[in-house]
Amino acid sequence: MSNRTLMVTASLGVMSLMALTACGTDKSDDPKASGGSASATAEAFKGLTGDQISEKARVAMTKLDSFRVKGSMTTDGKHMTFDFAVAKRGACQGTFGTESASAEIRQVGGAAYMKGDEKFWREMGSEDGSSSEDTEALIEMLKGRWFKMPAQDAKADDKFPFCDIGTMFEKDEKEGHLTRKADTDVNGTPAVTLKGKDGAATQTLLVAAEGEPYALRLTAEGGKEPGSFDFSAFNKPVTVTAPPAGEVMDPEKLKG
């Protein structure tokens, strides 16, 4: 049951990997040509293509000690929301959920912890094909408690991507292309707009034009997994603590 939940979480990180990549060049990436103006924002990346700006953002994100990512997306036909604080060395904490269920996540000290509400565990039991009796028994065991999954025992595909800055912003060598469009701002921060296609989806990446070129927002419209990511709280301290031992369920008790 936990593996399926982790895979759903992992799917949230996939979109952030696709646009934050620099491939090819484009001589038409002049902000004037795409509707922008000769402003301080335009001067921030003067002479650079959209792909080159995107690569600067990707590298800047990998150098962060911490950040916050918040947003929503639709995956496997379900609308999901998420809000995570991320630190280096695999530590993170946050929440994600559907319209009717939610769960908390913490990863620290080489272990991952998950605490879902009753509806969350019931949905997971239904998706896994568990009997109603087994599902209700699980809900009773986990009521108000955290499920612990040792990170070292987890398969690579089951780990939380939000807890690894390097994984989230790993360079993607697949061919892609982003074109610079009109300048804008995100919550008052001047930003450049980069757009590109990924299959049926139109992706938009907004990059800070002042200070470090951090990714501020990434959206995907159309396609199979539309959604939006907002990045903030760059390098603000993140402290993640393991849940109290008395509130953690021993995974050995769930075997069988």
Residue 8 — φ and ψ, nearest 5°? -60, -45
pLDDT in tens, 211-239: 999 999 999 898 888 889 899 999 999 99
Q: What is the mean pLDDT of the chain?
A: 78
Identity of the amino acid at 23: C
Please tell me the distance from the alpha carbon of residue 21 to that of residue 23, in angstroms, as a whole number.
Answer: 6
Closest by Cα among 212, 240, 241, 213 to 87: 240
Global pTM exceeds 0.85: no
Query: Contact, 149 vs 251, CB < 8 A?
Result: yes
More confident residue, 3 or 172: 172
Instruction: With residue 197 as reference, give the H or E element that holds it.
Output: strand 189-198
Query: Contact, 149 vs 111, CB < 8 A?
Result: yes
% of residues, the chain, pLDDT over 90: 36
The pLDDT of residue 190 is 95
Instruction: With residue 167 as reference, give the H or E element that holds it.
Output: helix 165-168
Architecture of the 2-249 domain: Clam (2.50)
On the 0-12 / 13-18 / 19+ scale of CB atoms within 10 A, 241 is exposed
The pLDDT of residue 19 is 36
More confident residue, 31 or 85: 85
pLDDT confidence bin for 13, thresholds 50/70/90: very low
pLDDT in tens, 143-161: 889 988 755 454 444 556 6
pLDDT in tens, 43-100: 779 899 999 999 999 999 999 999 999 998 887 778 889 999 999 777 899 998 888 8
